[in-house]
C-alpha cells in the first residue's frame, strides 16, 4: 500500500503538471521512476554486467560466469512500464535479470527500447524487433556463448506485449534463420479494444495498475489525446457499428467464448451500439497486431513457440493473458498457464529487496523453474 500510494501520488502530480502544460502526462512519473535506477555496475563473482548495443538499440547484458566455456541459455528480456516508464537499470529489473542469469546459468539481454513520448507506436516495437533480430545472429550468439537452440524472449506487462508481438513476427519472418525456442509472458497487456473484461471490471481500482491508468498508457503509446480516456473506458472504440474490421477483431477478444466460466463470474459484456467513426482514424494502432498481439490471425499463432503465461487474480490484465492462452491452445501451441489467486499486477517485481512479497518470491521461483525445465 505504501508503494501504491507513492505511485498514485506521483501519477496525480504528473497529470496535474500536464494539465498546466508543464510536462507530458507521465513526465513526473518517469522522473520518480528514474530515481529507482541502479547508479553503478553491480557485477558480482558469478554474474558479469556490461552495456551493449544490438541493431542500434541499447541493452544491459547479464552474463553468468559459472561455466565460462560452455554454451548457455539466452533470454531477451523486455521490461514493463506501460511503454512509457521503466528501464533495464531500474533496481527491480536489474536485480531480477541478475538473478535470472545466476539461477539459469544464462545470458540475459535486457533491452532499453524507446519510451513515450520520445517514442510512439511502433517505435517501441521496432526497437525490440531490431534488437532481437540482431541478437539472433550467429555472430552475437557466439560472442556471448549462447546456444542458438536455447534462446527465449520474455517480458512483463508492456514488455510482455512487446515479447508476444516480436515472437509472432520472428516466427513468420523467413529472413531470420535462428528462432526463439520459447516465449515467457508475465501478466502481459495484449489488447486495447475492451476495457470492460471481467478482470477490468473486477479490479478497476485495485493496486497497482488501475483501469483508467491502463487506458492512459494506451493513449500515450498510440499518440492519442488523453481527453479520449472516457471514450476508451466506455468501449466506444469497439462499438457494434464500427465496421467489419472491428467485428472481426471483437471475435478474437470475445471473453464470453475465450474465458473459462469461473473467471467470467457474473460480469456482462460492454458493447455499445454506436461508436465514433473517426476514433480508429485517430488510434489505428488499436487494430495493429504489433500493438495488440491478441488480434493475430490463427495462422500466425500456429507458428509461434511454446508459451509460459503468468496471470494474477487481482490484475486488470488477467483476462488478456487468459484469452491469449486459449487462442494459442486453439492454434495447437503448447501453453503453460501459471495463475496466482493471491497475485497482483507487478507482483514478480516485488520478489526482491526490502519490499518483497511472498507471492513475488513464489512467482519468480516458478517462472525460473519453468525456464530451467524447458529452455
Q: 108 has which bridge partners? A: 62, 75
Q: Which three cell numbers stand for residue 85?
A: 516508464
Active site residue 157: yes
| C-alpha distance from residue 43 to each of 50, 74, 222 (Å) | 8, 18, 37
Catalytic residue among 315, 319, 320, 338: 315
CA distance 375 to 371: 5
Active site residue 345: yes
Catalytic residue among 79, 238, 345, 363: 345
Catalytic residue among 157, 238, 349, 363: 157
Residue 32 CB partners (closer than 8 Å, separation 6+) = 6, 10
Burial of 273 per CB tally in 10 Å (0-12, 13-18, 19+): exposed
Residue 139, Cβ neighbours under 10 Å: how many? 7
Q: List the helix and strand counts (H, then E) for the chain.
A: 16, 8
Residue 292 CB partners (closer than 8 Å, separation 6+) = 190, 191, 192, 193, 285, 286
Q: Map residue 184 onto helix, strand or coil.
A: strand
For 332-337, which contacts have Cβ atoms below 8 Å and span 24 or more sequence positions?
332/302, 333/301, 333/302, 333/304, 333/305, 333/306, 333/307, 334/306, 334/307, 335/306, 335/307, 335/308, 335/309, 336/306, 336/307, 336/308, 336/309, 336/370, 336/374, 337/309, 337/311
Q: Cell numbers 501520488 label which residue?
A: 9
Query: H-helix or E-strand containing 111?
Result: strand 106-111
Active site residue 105: no
- Catalytic positions are 157, 315, 345
Amino acid at each position: 500500500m505504501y508503494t501504491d500510494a507513492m505511485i498514485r501520488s506521483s501519477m496525480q502530480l504528473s497529470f496535474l503538471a500536464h494539465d498546466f502544460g508543464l510536462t507530458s502526462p507521465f513526465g513526473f512519473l518517469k522522473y520518480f521512476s528514474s530515481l529507482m535506477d541502479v547508479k553503478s555496475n553491480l557485477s558480482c563473482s558469478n554474474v558479469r554486467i556490461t552495456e551493449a548495443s544490438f541493431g542500434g538499440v541499447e541493452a544491459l547484458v547479464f552474463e553468468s560466469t559459472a561455466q565460462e566455456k560452455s554454451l548457455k541459455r539466452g533470454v531477451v528480456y523486455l521490461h514493463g512500464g506501460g511503454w512509457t516508464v521503466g528501464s533495464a537499470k531500474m533496481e527491480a529489473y536489474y536485480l531480477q535479470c541478475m538473478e535470472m542469469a545466476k539461477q539459469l546459468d544464462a545470458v540475459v539481454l535486457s533491452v532499453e527500447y524507446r519510451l513515450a513520448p520520445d517514442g510512439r507506436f511502433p517505435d517501441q516495437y521496432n526497437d525490440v524487433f531490431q534488437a532481437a533480430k540482431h541478437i539472433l545472429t550467429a555472430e552475437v550468439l557466439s560472442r556471448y556463448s549462447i546456444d542458438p537452440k536455447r534462446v527465449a524472449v520474455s517480458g512483463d506487462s508492456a514488455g510482455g506485449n512487446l515479447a508476444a508481438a516480436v515472437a509472432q513476427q520472428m516466427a513468420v519472418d523467413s529472413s531470420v534463420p535462428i528462432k526463439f525456442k520459447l516465449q515467457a509472458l508475465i501478466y502481459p497487456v495484449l489488447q486495447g479494444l475492451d476495457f470492460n473484461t471481467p478482470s477490468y471490471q473486477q479490479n478497476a481500482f485495485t493496486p497497482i495498475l488501475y483501469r483508467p491508468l491502463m487506458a492512459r498508457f494506451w493513449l500515450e503509446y498510440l499518440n492519442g489525446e488523453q481527453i479520449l480516456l472516457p471514450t476508451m473506458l466506455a468501449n466506444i472504440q469497439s462499438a457494434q457499428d464500427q465496421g467489419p474490421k472491428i467485428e472481426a477483431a471483437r471475435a478474437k477478444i470475445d471473453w464470453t467464448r475465450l474465458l473459462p466460466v469461473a473467471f467470467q463470474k457474473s460480469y456482462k459484456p460492454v458493447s455499445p451500439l454506436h461508436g465514433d467513426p473517426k476514433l480508429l482514424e485517430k488510434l489505428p494502432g488499436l487494430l495493429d497486431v504489433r500493438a495488440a498481439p491478441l488480434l493475430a490471425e490463427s495462422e500466425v499463432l500456429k507458428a509461434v513457440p511454446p508459451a509460459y503465461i503468468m496471470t494474477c487474480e487481482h490484475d486488470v490484465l488477467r483476462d488478456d493473458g487468459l484469452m491469449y492462452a486459449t487462442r494459442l491452445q486453439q492454434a495447437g501451441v503448447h501453453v503453460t498457464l501459471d495463475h496466482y489467486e493471491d497475485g497482483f499486477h507487478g507482483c514478480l517485481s516485488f520478489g526482491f529487496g526490502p519490499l518483497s512479497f511472498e507471492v513475488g518470491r513464489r512467482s519468480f521461483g516458478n517462472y525460473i523453474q519453468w525456464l530451467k525445465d524447458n529452455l
